[in-house]
Protein backbone atom coordinates (compact mmCIF):
# COMPACT_ATOMS: atom_id res chain seq x y z
CA UNK A 1 0.00 0.00 0.00
CA UNK A 2 2.70 2.49 0.97
CA UNK A 3 4.59 1.69 -2.21
CA UNK A 4 1.70 3.32 -4.09
CA UNK A 5 2.97 6.74 -3.02
CA UNK A 6 4.98 7.05 -6.20
CA UNK A 7 2.53 9.68 -7.46
CA UNK A 8 2.32 13.42 -7.25
CA UNK A 9 -0.04 14.74 -4.59
CA UNK A 10 -1.94 18.01 -4.92
CA UNK A 11 0.70 20.60 -4.17
CA UNK A 12 2.88 18.07 -2.35
CA UNK A 13 6.25 16.78 -3.41
CA UNK A 14 6.82 13.03 -3.44
CA UNK A 15 9.23 11.50 -0.97
CA UNK A 16 10.64 7.99 -0.79
CA UNK A 17 8.75 6.40 2.09
CA UNK A 18 11.63 4.02 2.76
CA UNK A 19 13.82 6.90 3.97
CA UNK A 20 11.31 9.57 4.98
CA UNK A 21 11.05 9.78 8.79
CA UNK A 22 7.45 11.01 8.54
CA UNK A 23 6.44 7.49 7.57
CA UNK A 24 8.13 5.78 10.53
CA UNK A 25 4.91 4.47 12.08
CA UNK A 26 3.50 3.43 8.72
CA UNK A 27 6.67 1.50 7.89
CA UNK A 28 6.54 -0.24 11.25
CA UNK A 29 2.89 -1.21 10.77
CA UNK A 30 3.65 -2.60 7.33
CA UNK A 31 6.41 -4.64 8.92
CA UNK A 32 3.91 -6.16 11.34
CA UNK A 33 4.05 -3.89 14.39
CA UNK A 34 1.03 -3.94 16.71
CA UNK A 35 -1.11 -0.83 16.20
CA UNK A 36 -1.97 -0.82 19.91
CA UNK A 37 1.68 -0.13 20.73
CA UNK A 38 1.32 3.33 19.17
CA UNK A 39 -1.85 4.36 21.06
CA UNK A 40 -1.33 7.60 22.94
CA UNK A 41 2.21 8.03 21.65
CA UNK A 42 3.95 10.59 19.47
CA UNK A 43 2.59 9.00 16.28
CA UNK A 44 -1.02 8.99 17.51
CA UNK A 45 -2.51 12.15 15.97
CA UNK A 46 -5.45 11.93 18.36
CA UNK A 47 -3.12 12.22 21.35
CA UNK A 48 -1.06 14.96 19.74
CA UNK A 49 -4.11 17.11 18.99
CA UNK A 50 -5.57 16.51 22.45
CA UNK A 51 -2.32 17.54 24.15
CA UNK A 52 -1.85 20.72 22.11
CA UNK A 53 -1.60 23.56 24.61
CA UNK A 54 -3.86 26.62 24.24
CA UNK A 55 -0.89 28.95 23.88
CA UNK A 56 0.43 26.85 20.98
CA UNK A 57 -2.84 27.17 19.11
CA UNK A 58 -3.41 30.77 20.05
CA UNK A 59 0.12 31.88 19.18
CA UNK A 60 0.51 29.65 16.11
CA UNK A 61 3.65 28.11 17.61
CA UNK A 62 3.97 25.67 14.74
CA UNK A 63 7.44 24.51 15.76
CA UNK A 64 5.92 23.10 18.98
CA UNK A 65 3.91 20.59 16.95
CA UNK A 66 5.50 17.31 15.72
CA UNK A 67 4.44 17.66 12.09
CA UNK A 68 7.32 15.42 11.03
CA UNK A 69 5.79 12.41 12.77
CA UNK A 70 2.99 12.22 10.22
CA UNK A 71 2.89 11.58 6.47
CA UNK A 72 3.15 14.86 4.55
CA UNK A 73 3.34 16.69 7.86
CA UNK A 74 5.72 19.33 6.60
CA UNK A 75 3.36 20.11 3.72
CA UNK A 76 0.48 20.58 6.15
CA UNK A 77 2.63 22.80 8.35
CA UNK A 78 3.53 24.98 5.38
CA UNK A 79 -0.14 25.23 4.41
CA UNK A 80 -1.05 26.47 7.90
CA UNK A 81 1.84 28.92 7.81
CA UNK A 82 0.65 30.31 4.47
CA UNK A 83 -2.94 30.64 5.63
CA UNK A 84 -1.92 32.32 8.84
CA UNK A 85 0.09 34.90 6.92
CA UNK A 86 -2.39 37.59 5.93
CA UNK A 87 -0.34 38.51 2.86
CA UNK A 88 0.01 34.97 1.52
CA UNK A 89 -2.29 33.54 -1.18
CA UNK A 90 -4.80 31.11 0.29
CA UNK A 91 -5.57 28.91 -2.72
CA UNK A 92 -2.29 27.01 -2.68
CA UNK A 93 -2.55 26.34 1.05
CA UNK A 94 -6.13 25.07 0.92
CA UNK A 95 -5.22 23.04 -2.16
CA UNK A 96 -2.54 21.22 -0.16
CA UNK A 97 -4.85 20.42 2.75
CA UNK A 98 -7.84 19.56 0.60
CA UNK A 99 -5.65 17.49 -1.69
CA UNK A 100 -4.29 15.44 1.19
CA UNK A 101 -7.84 14.57 2.24
CA UNK A 102 -9.01 13.87 -1.31
CA UNK A 103 -6.03 11.54 -1.71
CA UNK A 104 -6.93 9.74 1.53
CA UNK A 105 -4.01 11.03 3.61
CA UNK A 106 -5.61 12.95 6.46
CA UNK A 107 -3.33 12.60 9.48
CA UNK A 108 -1.33 15.82 9.01
CA UNK A 109 -4.42 17.70 7.84
CA UNK A 110 -6.13 16.69 11.09
CA UNK A 111 -3.17 18.14 12.97
CA UNK A 112 -3.84 21.45 11.21
CA UNK A 113 -7.49 21.68 12.30
CA UNK A 114 -6.96 23.53 15.62
CA UNK A 115 -5.02 26.24 13.80
CA UNK A 116 -7.57 26.46 10.98
CA UNK A 117 -10.29 27.01 13.57
CA UNK A 118 -8.30 29.91 15.01
CA UNK A 119 -8.09 31.53 11.58
CA UNK A 120 -11.74 30.85 10.77
CA UNK A 121 -12.97 32.42 14.00
CA UNK A 122 -10.83 35.54 13.63
CA UNK A 123 -13.29 38.09 12.28
CA UNK A 124 -10.46 40.24 10.91
CA UNK A 125 -8.41 37.55 9.17
CA UNK A 126 -8.55 37.77 5.35
CA UNK A 127 -8.34 33.97 4.94
CA UNK A 128 -11.00 33.01 7.49
CA UNK A 129 -13.42 31.80 4.81
CA UNK A 130 -10.73 29.65 3.18
CA UNK A 131 -9.75 28.11 6.50
CA UNK A 132 -13.34 27.34 7.43
CA UNK A 133 -14.02 25.79 4.03
CA UNK A 134 -11.23 23.24 4.42
CA UNK A 135 -11.11 22.51 8.16
CA UNK A 136 -13.87 19.87 8.11
CA UNK A 137 -12.29 17.87 5.28
CA UNK A 138 -10.18 15.58 7.51
CA UNK A 139 -13.22 15.00 9.75
CA UNK A 140 -14.89 12.94 7.03
CA UNK A 141 -13.53 9.79 5.43
CA UNK A 142 -14.53 8.01 2.23
CA UNK A 143 -17.28 10.46 1.43
CA UNK A 144 -16.26 11.55 -2.07
CA UNK A 145 -18.73 10.11 -4.55
CA UNK A 146 -20.83 8.48 -1.80
CA UNK A 147 -24.49 9.33 -2.34
CA UNK A 148 -26.49 6.35 -1.12
CA UNK A 149 -28.98 6.39 1.74
CA UNK A 150 -26.78 3.95 3.64
CA UNK A 151 -23.62 6.05 3.50
CA UNK A 152 -24.36 9.73 2.84
CA UNK A 153 -24.12 11.69 6.13
CA UNK A 154 -22.75 8.59 7.85
CA UNK A 155 -19.80 9.25 10.15
CA UNK A 156 -18.60 5.67 10.11
CA UNK A 157 -18.26 3.36 7.17
CA UNK A 158 -19.94 -0.03 7.08
CA UNK A 159 -18.57 -2.22 9.90
CA UNK A 160 -19.52 -5.27 7.83
CA UNK A 161 -16.48 -4.59 5.67
CA UNK A 162 -14.44 -6.44 8.30
CA UNK A 163 -11.60 -4.05 9.00
CA UNK A 164 -8.27 -5.61 9.98
CA UNK A 165 -7.82 -6.51 13.63
CA UNK A 166 -7.14 -3.49 15.88
CA UNK A 167 -8.39 -1.05 13.22
CA UNK A 168 -11.80 0.55 13.30
CA UNK A 169 -14.11 0.37 10.32
CA UNK A 170 -12.25 3.15 8.47
CA UNK A 171 -9.29 0.87 7.81
CA UNK A 172 -6.08 2.52 6.60
CA UNK A 173 -5.20 5.54 4.53
CA UNK A 174 -3.16 5.26 1.36
CA UNK A 175 -0.03 5.83 3.45
CA UNK A 176 -0.84 2.95 5.77
CA UNK A 177 -1.85 5.27 8.63
CA UNK A 178 -5.06 4.28 10.51
CA UNK A 179 -7.74 6.44 8.91
CA UNK A 180 -9.98 6.36 11.96
CA UNK A 181 -7.31 8.05 14.04
CA UNK A 182 -7.12 10.99 11.63
CA UNK A 183 -10.89 11.42 11.50
CA UNK A 184 -11.23 11.12 15.28
CA UNK A 185 -8.52 13.74 15.84
CA UNK A 186 -10.17 16.23 13.49
CA UNK A 187 -13.61 15.69 15.00
CA UNK A 188 -12.27 16.03 18.53
CA UNK A 189 -10.65 19.36 17.63
CA UNK A 190 -13.92 20.60 16.14
CA UNK A 191 -15.89 19.33 19.14
CA UNK A 192 -13.57 21.13 21.55
CA UNK A 193 -14.06 24.39 19.68
CA UNK A 194 -17.83 24.06 19.19
CA UNK A 195 -18.51 27.17 21.36
CA UNK A 196 -16.28 29.28 19.10
CA UNK A 197 -17.68 27.84 15.87
CA UNK A 198 -21.39 28.17 16.67
CA UNK A 199 -21.35 32.00 16.42
CA UNK A 200 -20.27 31.62 12.79
CA UNK A 201 -23.81 30.44 12.04
CA UNK A 202 -24.76 34.10 12.44
CA UNK A 203 -21.98 35.49 10.25
CA UNK A 204 -23.09 38.06 7.62
CA UNK A 205 -21.50 35.97 4.85
CA UNK A 206 -23.86 33.17 3.68
CA UNK A 207 -20.92 31.03 2.50
CA UNK A 208 -19.41 31.20 5.97
CA UNK A 209 -22.71 30.15 7.52
CA UNK A 210 -22.89 27.17 5.17
CA UNK A 211 -19.34 26.03 5.94
CA UNK A 212 -19.87 26.59 9.66
CA UNK A 213 -22.83 24.19 9.52
CA UNK A 214 -20.73 21.70 7.55
CA UNK A 215 -17.98 21.78 10.18
CA UNK A 216 -20.32 21.65 13.18
CA UNK A 217 -22.08 18.60 11.74
CA UNK A 218 -18.96 16.54 12.54
CA UNK A 219 -18.81 17.52 16.22
CA UNK A 220 -19.82 15.12 18.96
CA UNK A 221 -23.10 16.47 20.30
CA UNK A 222 -24.32 14.45 23.30
CA UNK A 223 -25.82 17.56 24.89
CA UNK A 224 -27.60 18.57 21.65
CA UNK A 225 -25.79 21.93 21.68
CA UNK A 226 -25.07 21.82 17.95
CA UNK A 227 -28.53 20.54 17.07
CA UNK A 228 -30.12 23.35 19.09
CA UNK A 229 -27.89 25.97 17.46
CA UNK A 230 -28.79 24.74 13.98
CA UNK A 231 -32.52 24.85 14.73
CA UNK A 232 -32.22 28.27 16.33
CA UNK A 233 -30.44 29.68 13.28
CA UNK A 234 -32.95 28.09 10.93
CA UNK A 235 -35.77 29.94 12.71
CA UNK A 236 -34.35 33.28 11.52
CA UNK A 237 -32.38 32.30 8.40
CA UNK A 238 -33.75 33.67 5.15
CA UNK A 239 -31.20 32.48 2.57
CA UNK A 240 -32.53 29.29 0.99
CA UNK A 241 -29.11 27.70 0.45
CA UNK A 242 -28.09 28.33 4.05
CA UNK A 243 -31.38 26.87 5.27
CA UNK A 244 -30.63 23.80 3.18
CA UNK A 245 -27.18 23.54 4.77
CA UNK A 246 -28.63 23.82 8.26
CA UNK A 247 -31.02 20.95 7.56
CA UNK A 248 -28.32 18.71 6.12
CA UNK A 249 -26.12 19.46 9.12
CA UNK A 250 -28.98 18.65 11.47
CA UNK A 251 -29.55 15.37 9.65
CA UNK A 252 -25.87 14.50 9.88
CA UNK A 253 -25.70 15.15 13.62
CA UNK A 254 -28.89 13.13 14.07
CA UNK A 255 -27.47 10.24 12.09
CA UNK A 256 -24.48 10.22 14.43
CA UNK A 257 -26.70 10.40 17.52
CA UNK A 258 -30.31 9.39 16.99
CA UNK A 259 -32.93 11.96 18.00
CA UNK A 260 -36.44 11.05 16.78
CA UNK A 261 -37.90 14.56 17.29
CA UNK A 262 -35.27 16.03 14.95
CA UNK A 263 -35.93 13.34 12.35
CA UNK A 264 -39.65 14.17 12.49
CA UNK A 265 -38.87 17.89 12.24
CA UNK A 266 -36.74 17.30 9.13
CA UNK A 267 -39.56 15.28 7.58
CA UNK A 268 -41.94 18.19 8.13
CA UNK A 269 -39.53 20.50 6.30
CA UNK A 270 -39.60 18.57 3.02
CA UNK A 271 -43.37 18.24 3.23
CA UNK A 272 -43.81 21.99 3.69
CA UNK A 273 -44.77 23.47 0.31
CA UNK A 274 -44.08 26.97 1.65
CA UNK A 275 -40.38 26.14 1.92
CA UNK A 276 -37.95 26.98 -0.89
CA UNK A 277 -37.26 24.06 -3.26
CA UNK A 278 -33.60 23.86 -2.19
CA UNK A 279 -34.68 23.52 1.43
CA UNK A 280 -37.24 20.81 0.67
CA UNK A 281 -34.67 18.91 -1.38
CA UNK A 282 -32.07 19.03 1.40
CA UNK A 283 -34.66 17.97 3.98
CA UNK A 284 -35.85 15.08 1.80
CA UNK A 285 -32.31 13.81 1.29
CA UNK A 286 -31.55 14.20 4.99
CA UNK A 287 -34.71 12.38 6.00
CA UNK A 288 -34.00 9.49 3.63
CA UNK A 289 -30.66 9.03 5.36
CA UNK A 290 -32.36 8.93 8.77
CA UNK A 291 -34.98 6.30 8.03
CA UNK A 292 -35.26 2.81 6.62
CA UNK A 293 -38.77 3.47 5.39
CA UNK A 294 -39.31 3.03 1.64
CA UNK A 295 -39.50 6.28 -0.26
CA UNK A 296 -43.21 6.76 -0.83
CA UNK A 297 -44.65 8.34 -3.96
CA UNK A 298 -45.08 11.81 -2.48
CA UNK A 299 -41.39 11.94 -1.59
CA UNK A 300 -40.31 10.58 -4.96
CA UNK A 301 -42.39 13.18 -6.76
CA UNK A 302 -41.00 15.96 -4.58
CA UNK A 303 -37.42 14.98 -5.40
CA UNK A 304 -37.90 14.27 -9.09
CA UNK A 305 -39.93 17.43 -9.75
CA UNK A 306 -37.77 19.83 -7.75
CA UNK A 307 -34.36 18.37 -8.65
CA UNK A 308 -33.82 20.21 -11.93
CA UNK A 309 -30.45 20.53 -13.65
CA UNK A 310 -30.32 24.23 -12.87
CA UNK A 311 -31.12 23.71 -9.21
CA UNK A 312 -28.59 20.89 -8.98
CA UNK A 313 -25.85 23.19 -10.27
CA UNK A 314 -26.82 25.88 -7.77
CA UNK A 315 -26.75 23.41 -4.89
CA UNK A 316 -23.08 22.65 -5.56
CA UNK A 317 -22.63 25.55 -3.11
CA UNK A 318 -23.41 22.98 -0.41
CA UNK A 319 -20.27 21.00 0.52
CA UNK A 320 -22.31 17.80 0.91
CA UNK A 321 -23.43 18.04 -2.70
CA UNK A 322 -20.06 19.15 -4.03
CA UNK A 323 -18.43 16.07 -2.47
CA UNK A 324 -20.60 13.55 -4.32
CA UNK A 325 -20.44 14.83 -7.90
CA UNK A 326 -19.13 12.39 -10.48
CA UNK A 327 -18.91 11.68 -14.19
CA UNK A 328 -20.41 15.08 -14.95
CA UNK A 329 -23.39 14.30 -12.71
CA UNK A 330 -24.16 17.05 -10.16
CA UNK A 331 -24.26 15.97 -6.54
CA UNK A 332 -27.98 16.56 -6.08
CA UNK A 333 -28.92 14.49 -9.11
CA UNK A 334 -26.50 11.78 -8.04
CA UNK A 335 -28.18 11.64 -4.62
CA UNK A 336 -31.64 11.40 -6.18
CA UNK A 337 -30.53 8.62 -8.53
CA UNK A 338 -28.68 6.61 -5.88
CA UNK A 339 -31.40 7.00 -3.26
CA UNK A 340 -34.47 6.45 -5.41
CA UNK A 341 -33.04 4.18 -8.10
CA UNK A 342 -30.13 2.27 -6.54
CA UNK A 343 -30.51 -0.44 -9.17
CA UNK A 344 -29.40 1.90 -11.95
CA UNK A 345 -25.78 1.50 -13.10
CA UNK A 346 -23.22 4.23 -12.55
CA UNK A 347 -22.69 6.64 -15.44
CA UNK A 348 -19.62 5.90 -17.52
CA UNK A 349 -16.55 6.83 -15.53
CA UNK A 350 -18.23 6.40 -12.14
CA UNK A 351 -17.97 8.83 -9.24
CA UNK A 352 -14.23 9.28 -9.61
CA UNK A 353 -14.45 10.76 -13.09
CA UNK A 354 -15.01 14.20 -11.62
CA UNK A 355 -11.86 16.32 -11.25
CA UNK A 356 -11.82 17.15 -7.52
> Over the stretch 61-117, which tens digit does the pLDDT of each residue have?
999 999 999 999 999 999 999 999 877 778 889 999 999 998 888 999 999 999 999
Q: What is the pLDDT of residue 42?
A: 92
Question: What mean pLDDT is predicted for residues 19-40?
Answer: 85
pLDDT beyond 50 at 316? yes
User: CA 100 to CA 251: how far, in whole Å?
Assistant: 27
Residue 304 neighbours by CB under 8 Å, 6+ apart: 336, 340
Convert the pLDDT of each residue in 5-22 to its tens digit: 332 333 344 445 556 777
Is-above-0.75 flag for pTM? yes
pLDDT for position 18: 58
Alpha-carbon separation of residue 206 from 129, 314, 343 (angstroms): 11, 14, 37
- Tell me what the mean pLDDT of segment 23-47 comes to: 90
In angstroms, the CA 65 to CA 83 distance is 17
The number of angstroms, rounded, from the C-alpha of 348 to the middle of its chain's C-alpha atoms is 26
pLDDT digits (tens, 9 = 90+) for 168-206: 778 888 888 999 999 999 999 999 999 999 999 999 999
Which pLDDT score is estimated for 16?
Answer: 56
Amino acid sequence: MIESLGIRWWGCGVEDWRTDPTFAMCRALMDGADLASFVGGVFDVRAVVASMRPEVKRGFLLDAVPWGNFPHGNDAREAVHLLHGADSPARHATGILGGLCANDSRAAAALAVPFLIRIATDAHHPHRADALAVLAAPARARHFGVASRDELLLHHTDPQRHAPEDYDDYGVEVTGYPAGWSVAAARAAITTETPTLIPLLDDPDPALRINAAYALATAADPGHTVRTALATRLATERAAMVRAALLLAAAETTRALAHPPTAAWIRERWQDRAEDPEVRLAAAIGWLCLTDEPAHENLKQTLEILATDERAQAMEALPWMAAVVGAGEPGLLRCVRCMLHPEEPEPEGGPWAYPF
